[in-house]
Amino acid sequence: MPVIIIKARQGVLKDKKTKAGLMQKMAQCFAEAVGDEDFAKRATVIIEEVPDENWARGGKQVEQ
């Protein structure tokens, strides 16, 4: 069973509906990429939200 992990800065994905749509589309994209539609039903998708203080770009801590 595939596991898809999405890492995003905390607060980027605003609400439950947005997260649900992202999870559904990621599972579907994976299934299409491997050529087996059954993977869309079996894929596990996890969203990990990271606080800004734990996220840096170019060696500099990001700001909200």
- Encode the chain (64 residues) as per-residue pLDDT tens digits: 899 999 999 999 999 999 999 999 999 999 999 999 999 999 999 999 999 999 999 999 987 6
Strands 56-57 and 60-61: antiparallel
Q: Name residues whose C-beta falls within 8 Å of residue 1's C-beta, 6 or more positions apart in sequence.
A: 42, 43, 44
Q: Where are the domains of the chain?
A: 3-61
Query: Torsion angle, CA of 43/20/14/30, rounded to 10 degrees?
Result: 40
Cβ neighbours of 27 (radius 10 Å)? 19
Single pTM value for the model = 0.84
Q: Give the pLDDT confidence score for residue 64 in this predicted structure.
A: 61
Helices and strands counted in the chain (H then E): 2, 4
Domain 3-61 has CATH 2.60.120.10: no
